[in-house]
Structure 1
Amino acid sequence: MTERKRWSTGRKLLLLAAVCVLAAGGGVFAAVAPGAAHASLASEAGSPERTTPGLAAPVVPPATLVVAPADAAKQVNPAAPVTLTVSHGTIERVALTSEAGDAVDGKLSADSASWTASGPLKFNTRYTYTFAVKDAAGRTANNTRTFTTVSAANEADAAVYPLDGMKVGVAQPLQVIFSEPVVNRDAVEKAIKITSTSGQTGAFHWYSDTMVRYRPVDFWAANSTITMDMQLFGVDLGKGQIGNFNKKVTVHIGDKKVAVADAEAHTFTVSVNDQQVGQWPSTMGDARFPSARGFLVLMEKYRVEHMDASTIGLKPGDPAYYGQLDVNYATRLTPSGEFIHQATDSAMPYVGVENLSHGCIGLGPEGAKWVFDNMTAGDVVQVINTAGDFANFDDGFGDWNIPAGQYAN
């Protein structure tokens, strides 16, 4: 009788130890008392909902969370994924809202183990991320976290030319000017996909850390269509600057219109789709102001353009000073002031005979009007037999003066 009582007391102590360990776990993690091994331990431990008493205490693995972005994160890229993943549990509900109360859509996986935001985020915005997760024991925990996206000071925009839907000539390069310096050029180039109906491919050329252009090896095919698909939203330009837009631009190419301005022959010859359509006498830049050489791409047109000698540094008393005057049928070649235009009355006797302009190509009324009426932005003039240098890269579109093999940089 005494030995049986001692055995019962020992069994009670063993069970009491198991209860104490379980209590110490707060009821979240099950524990097994030392020495309480049993053949059914594995199956019992894997059944958190077991209600039949046994030697093994139930084991409930903790629900673990992986949340992105991290709580209180700042300068979060608005294109970065916003995700919630749970192990050993399920997601009951999720709400992602901006401080203005705008909700961001998201998708819950079929097994309710992960949630991913599908709607876009905004720049310079604080977001609240609220979610409820249930563990394997059926207990629900609520969580709230916050993060803030990239500030306005680190938001990078860009201007694109030609504009969407614009029709231009075969020599028009595609241009993107960024509001912030670009360090990660490769990332930007990969984010801009350019296709053409002619199948032509080309290359990018960076003229500065904010301006890049794209052109094919040869002129664009006449009457083709170019598409620029720019997926720059969220692209890291470098030094914390993040692209803020996606845009698709369609550019239509017209007929191939090429003019040749010969400073020695004093002629201006135009071909359309490789067929000559006209030739007119001209006067070009004199020895002091020779016309720029090479390929110049037409930019814009003015029925009447006002010209001022002071804008090119001329002052009264200079033999080349012409004061201020208006010219007809002006088609711009460079931002610095070279045009194709109708020669002034005083210059008309020299058209086809002598060069006396300040760099412009002067034509008679018929030739100047034909160019104005029939040529457009993106058409090209090749200036030959002039002592002038090539126009600077930022003085119009001199891209075709760079050999194709040297264009990509």
Structure 2
Amino acid sequence: MAPKSWSTGRKAAVLAAVCALAAGGGVFAAAGPLAHASFASEAGSPERSTQGLAFPVVPPLQLAAAPADAAVQVNPAAPVTLKVGNGRIERAALTSETGQSVEGTLSADGSSWASSGPLEFNTRYSYSYSVVDGAGRSTENTRSFTTVTTANEADAAIYPLDGMKVGVAQPLQLTFSEPVLNRAAVEKAIKISSTSGQVGDFHWFSNTMVRYRPQNFWAANSTITMDIKLFGVNLGRGQVGNFNKSVTVHIGDKKVAVADARAHTFTASINDRQVGRWPATMGDTRFPSARGYLVLMEKYRVEHMDARTIGLKPGDPAYYGQLDVNYATRLTPSGEFIHQATASAMPYIGKVNLSHGCVGLGPAGAKWVFDNMTTGDVVQVVNTDGDYAAYDDGFGDWNIPWAKYAN
């Protein structure tokens, strides 16, 4: 047999080596005309849980969004927020069902977005966003939610009104449309300051009414500012405050009167200087005038009075029917006034108490009070057999000891 050619054997060995290298995935197989086709980009590939040939696994994007999709009874004061981990936010938009846009702010690194504009009550909102993960994959989504319904929207009336000028004894009052259970949250939302530097405290007369006063009368000619931020405050049982407001109240001169049921006098002072003293008639033994501090509320040039409103009927010795009185200044909602005494009572002023609880004065005294005293000024009734008026029958705050008022 003829020997094999050297060249033929060498060629076979080389060919075998090439095949072996190709099968084993060596360097040779990844080069030249046998190289693998170019890899697809990671951004164009679905997310992988195992490491690929070209790139390591991209950490999955983490997204936190609030409110949750389809949430209801969302507090309109709570911001809408998006937070992204392992990625960034490209775009976010928040709109109401009527198409009104709500402003928002994107962080510098694109990791978070938050609404900055106020929301409306009882409104459906949609927020759409686009986020990108570390490989450049983009995801878009839209969510929706509905804010607190009208039935859970709580309002409040404030007195005195903004810009009003009142006397030194006027408490500040808020009356809520819904019961307040979270009283501490409401008090925290109301900041009160005075140019006199006086501080006070709140006193709740019911679940719907709270007042505020200092330990002593407000300083004459001072100014009080109420910074009320109740929007979004949880009052309890799902009720949410619906407004923020700033109220400025001006305090006038210190005008205080003393009505003495034993001496039958009415003495008035301005800034602690006596300016007038008039004879008076006050409540008789059956209807004694209420004692303590009574804060003036409102004034009527002529006030119509009806005995039936205090439970009197024809045939009762105290029944006076219906009559009109002049220069009437209200002390309590239940019916106590300072007013000009009736013609039949005029001979008795300064001598006998024969009213149904009111302070009756002569024409000069009643007109002076009407012309010179106003809402928030105060009358102290002394030497009467009457008890204090109910604390919420008018502004009876000053008849509550400070230690009890401030608790």
Aligned to 2:260: 262
Checking the alignment, whether the CA contact within 8 Å between 1:177 and 1:212 is kept in structure 2 is yes
The partner residue of 2:73 within 75, 79, 89 is 75
In the TM superposition, 1:14-29 aligns within 5 A as 27-29=46-48
CA distance in 2: counterparts of 1:27 and 1:97, whole angstroms: 31
Matched residue of 1:367: which SS?
A: helix
Contact 2:282 2:289 in 1 (8 A): yes
Structure 2 distance, partners of 1:396, 1:117, is 44
Superposed displacement of residue 57, structure 1: 3.2
Q: Tell me what 1:57 maps to.
A: 55
2:127 corresponds to which residue? Answer: 129
1:144 deviation in Å?
0.2
Secondary structure of residue in 2 paired with 1:378: coil
Q: Secondary structure at the match of 1:129?
A: strand
Give the Cα separation in 1 of the matches to 2:241 and 2:110: 33
Match of 2:146 among 141, 145, 148: 148
Query: Partner amino acid for 1:31?
Result: T
Query: 1:6, 1:129 → 2: CA distance?
Result: 59
The one-letter code sitting in structure 2 at the alignment partner of 1:266 is H
Contact 1:29 1:62 in 2 (8 A): no
1:9 aligned partner, one-letter code = A
Alignment of 1:337-356 (within 5 A): 337-356=335-354
CA distance in 2, matches of 1:29, 1:385: 91
**For residue 377 of structure 2, what is the aligned residue in structure 1?**
379
Equivalent of residue 386 in structure 2, options 385, 388, 398: 388
**2:271 aligned residue (273, 289, 293):** 273
CA contact (8 A) 1:31 1:57 kept: no
- Answer yes or no: is the 8 Å Cα contact 2:191–2:226 preserved in 1: yes
Count of residue pairs brought into register by the alignment: 382
In the alignment, is the contact (CA less than 8 A) between 2:391 and 2:399 conserved in 1? no
Cα-Cα RMSD = 2.0
Q: 2:103 aligns with which of 93, 102, 105?
A: 105
Q: Which amino acid aligns with 2:331?
A: L
**Number of the residue aligned with 1:361:** 359
Where does residue 180 of structure 2 map in the other structure? 182
Amino acid at match of 1:258: V
2:116: which partner in 1?
Answer: 118
C-alpha displacement of 1:30: 6.3
- 2:187 touches 2:202 (CA, 8 Å); kept in 1? yes
Could you tell me how far 1:282 is from its partner in structure 2? Answer: 0.1
Report if the CA contact (8 A) 1:96-1:130 is conserved.
yes
Letter in 2 for 1:159: A
Q: Work out the CA distance in 1 between the residues paired with 2:311 and 2:381.
A: 24
Q: Distance in 1 between matches of 2:220 and 2:57?
A: 74
Secondary structure of 2:25's aligned partner: helix
Query: In the alignment, residue 308 of structure 1 is paired with which amino acid?
Result: D
Amino acid at match of 1:174: L
Distance apart, 1:158 and its partner CA:
0.3
Q: TM-score, normalised by structure 2?
A: 0.90
Give unpaired runs (5+ residues) of structure 2.
1-12, 31-37
Q: Deviations over 1:296-332 (max 9, x none)?
A: 0000000000000010111111110000000000000
State the AA in 2 paired with 1:382.
Q
Identity, % of aligned positions: 74
SS at match of 1:366: helix
- In the alignment, the residues of structure 2 paired with residue 364 and residue 27 of structure 1 have an alpha-carbon distance, to the nearest angstrom, of 95
CA contact (8 A) 1:105 1:119 kept: yes
From the CA coordinates, give the structure whose radius of gyration is larger: 2
Q: Quick check: 366-375 or 57-66, which moved more?
A: 57-66
| C-alpha contact (below 8 Å) 1:184/1:237 kept by paired residues | yes
Tell me which residue corresponds to 2:317. 319
**Corresponding position of 1:48:** none
Q: Which residue is equivalent to 1:334?
A: 332
Q: CA deviation at 1:349?
A: 0.5
- The answer to whether 1:11 aligns with 2:30 is no
- 5+ residue gaps, structure 1, are 34-54
SS at match of 2:365: helix
**Corresponding residue SS for 1:289:** coil
**Which residue number in structure 1 is paired with residue 164 of structure 2?**
166
The CA deviation string for residues 305-362 of structure 1, in whole angstroms up to 9 with x for no partner, is 0000010111111110000000000000000000000000000001000000000000
CA–CA separation in structure 1 for the residues paired with 2:281 and 2:166: 27
CA distance in 2, matches of 1:103, 1:346: 70
TM-score by length of 1: 0.90
After superposition, residues 197-346 of structure 1 pair within 5 angstroms as 197-346=195-344
CA distance in 1, matches of 2:54, 2:339: 98
Distance 2:199 2:20 in 1: 92
Q: Could you report, residue by residue, the CA deviation over 1:18-64 in whole angstroms, capped at 9, with x for unpaired residues?
A: x9xx99x953236326xxxxxxxxxxxxxxxxxxxxx5533322222
